[in-house]
Amino acid sequence: MEGSPIPVLTVPTVPYEDQRPAGGGGLRRPTGLFEGQRNYLPNFIQSVLSSIDLRDRQGCTMVVGSDGRYFSRTATEIVVQMAAANGIGRLIIGQNGILSTPAVSCIIRKIKAAGGIILTASHCPGGPAGEFGVKFNVANGGPAPDVVSDKIYQISKTIEEYAICPDLRIDLSRLGRQEFDLENKFKPFRVEIVDPVDIYLNLLRTIFDFNAIKSLLTGPGQLKIRVDAMHGVMGPYVRKVLCDELGAPANSAINCVPLEDFGGQHPDPNLTYATTLLEAMKGGEYGFGAAFDADGDRYMILGQNGFFVSPSDSLAIIAANLSCIPYFRQMGVRGFGRSMPTSTALDRVAKSMKVPVYETPAGWRFFSNLMDSGRCSLCGEESFGTGSDHLREKDGLWAVLVWLSILAARKQSVEEIVRDHWAKFGRHYYCRFDYEGLEPKATYYIMRDLEALVTDKSFIGQQFAVGNHVYSVAKTDCFEYVDPVDGTVTKKQGLRIIFSDASRLIFRLSSSSGMRATIRLYAESYERDPGGHDQEPQAVLSPLIAIALKISQIHERTGRRGPTVIT
C-alpha cells in the first residue's frame, strides 16, 4: 500500500429490465451488450453484491474467476473495484483471471468464502461477436438458488446507483497478496492472486488413486489418450494434472492455450463441435479421448475409433463403477440425482444398488440441497455435465479421472465397458434436438398449445402408429419438482409424454441462451435385447421424433426444416 487512500465513488445509474438471471444466478448476453451498454455490467454486479446481506458482506471473502473469454479482463477489473467499494474484505482470484467453474466451487468451500463470481458464458462462443456471462455461486460453492436469483433480479429493476473504486488497479499476473487502503475503510482491501490449479488439484488427490491412473498412462501397455481443452479455461488444468502429475505425454493435450475467442471455435464438447478430437480418435491411435467446454464443467468421452459415450450413459456407467474410486469406498453411496430430461439409464443402476434417484429440473442448483442434506452422492445431466458431492458444481476433469480410474481397475477399453453395461442393464437410445435462436413469443405459444394438448385427459391412451411401431400414451404431465429438503415447488419444467413401453418424449423451453429462445426436444427408447444394441440412435428414435413433430408442429410454426444441433 502506497500513497493516498483510494476514493470510493457512488455512480448514478438507471435500471435495465432484462437482467433476470437465467437460473443459478447467471446472466448470459451478447458480449456487445455488456461492452457497449452504459453501466450494464456494473448494474448487475451491484445487484449481485447487494443481494448478500450487509452484515455478511462487510469484510467477507469472495472468489473471482473467468474462463478467459473476450472482455474477461475488463470485467474482472470492474468486479474488483466494485467488491472493494461494497465492503468485501478479500478477493481470491486465479492468476491472469483464470479459474474453472469447478475450481471456484472448490475454493469457496475450502476457505469458507461468502460466494464467488464467475465470468463465463459456459459453452457459448467468445470474442466481440460472441457471448459473455456473469454467474454467482453462493457459500456452499454451488449456483445461486432461485430465491437468490429472484432477489438479484428485483434489485436490478430498481437500482439507482452503484459503488466503485475506479482508481484501484491490480496485477492479475503476479501471484501473491496485494493490499489497498480505501477511503473511509478501517481495514485494507486485500486481493490474493493464486495458482488456478493447485487448490483444486489437492482436492482431486484426496478423491482418486493417482498411482493407479499414472500406471495406466505410463506403465507397460500404456493407454494413449487425447484430451482437447478447446482453448478454454481447462488448458492449465489438463497440463498440470494429466501431464505433469499423472504422466501423460505432453502431446496428449491439445488446444491448451486459453484464447479470448477459443480459436474461433464453439467451445462445446459434443460431436458437432469437438470435431478435431473426433477425427483424431477415429484414426485408432488413441484409446481414450476427452474434451471440455469453456469453463471446465462439461465434458465428452470418446473411445478408440471415435466410439461415443453419451452423457446419460456416462452418468450411469460412473454410478455402476463408483467402487473403483477411493472416495466412494470411504464415503459410501447415498443416492443419485439426474435432471428430468436425462435418460433413465441411471435409474436402472440405482435400482440394482438399492439407492434412491432424485429427478430434478434442469440446472445444477437443484442438486445442491440434495447433496448438502446428505441425500445424494452423484448427479448428472444429459448436457454433458456430471459431478459428485465433493463440490457443488458439475466437474469435467473429475469425470475424466473417474473414467480413467474405471479403465485402470477393469482393464477394459471404453467400448468394452459400455457394451458390458448395456448387456447388464439394457441400452437407452437417446437424442436431444435443439431448435435455437427462436422468437420468444413464438416459443411461448408453441409450448402453451402443446401443454394444452398433451395434458388433456383424452390424450392418455392415444395410439400413434409409425411404420411397424405403435406407441400408446401411458402418462403425460408438465413436470414440477418438490424439493425433498425444504419443500420448495418449481413448476413448468418441461412437458413429458411417457409411453407404455417406457419410451419418452420431452419438450422443454430453455432460458440459458441469452436474448433468443430455445426449444429442446428429447427422445428416449429402451432396448433390453443385446441383439438390438448396435443400432444408430436416430434410426431407433425416428418414429418417436415423427410423433413429436406431428403433435408440436414445430417445423411449421417456426419455419425451420430441422433442429440447429443434435446431441
Q: What positions carry a catalytic annotation?
A: 122
Q: What is the 3-state secondary structure (H, E, C) of 141-205?
A: CCECCHHHHHHHHHHHHHCCEEEECCCCCCCCCCCEEEEECECCCCCCEEEEEECCCHHHHHHHH
Residue 422, Cβ density class (10 Å: 0-12 exposed, 13-18 middle, ≥19 buried):
buried
Q: Does an H or E element contain 116, and which?
A: strand 115-119
CB atoms under 10 Å from CB of 332, counted, come to 9
Contact 93, 83 (CB under 8 A): no
Cell 468486479 belongs to residue: 79
Question: Which position has the grid cell 435409474?
Answer: 347
Task: Label the pairing between strands 61-66 and 115-119.
Answer: parallel
The owner of cell 418414429 is 543
Query: Are 345 and 425 a contacting pair, CB within 8 Å?
Result: yes
Sheet holding 357-360, edge to edge: 357-360, 336-339, 378-381, 385-388
- Give 493-507 as a DSSP string: --EEEEETTS-EEEE
How many angstroms separate the CA atoms of 119 and 72, rounded?
6
Pinpoint the alpha helices (H) of 322-427: 326-331, 345-353, 365-372, 396-410, 414-425
Report yes or no: 336 and 312 within 8 Å, Cβ to Cβ: no
Helix, strand, coil % in the chain, rounded to nearest 5? 35, 25, 35
> CB of 113 within 8 A of CB of 101?
no
Q: Say how far residue 234 (Cα) sits from the centre of its chain.
A: 14
Classify residue 337 as exposed, middle or buried by CB count within 10 Å of its CB (0-12, 13-18, 19+).
buried
Q: Which DSSP helix (H) or strand (E) runs through 422?
A: helix 414-425
Nearest to 26 by CA among 142, 172, 113: 142
Phi, psi of 279 (to 5 degrees): -65, -40
| CB distance 19 to 43 below 8 Å | yes
Q: Which residue has the cell 484426496?
A: 206
Query: Residue 354 has which C-alpha cell?
Result: 438399492
Q: Which three cell numbers stand for residue 318?
A: 460412473
Q: How far is CA 461 from the centre of its chain?
A: 37
555 vs 438: CA distance, rounded Å: 12
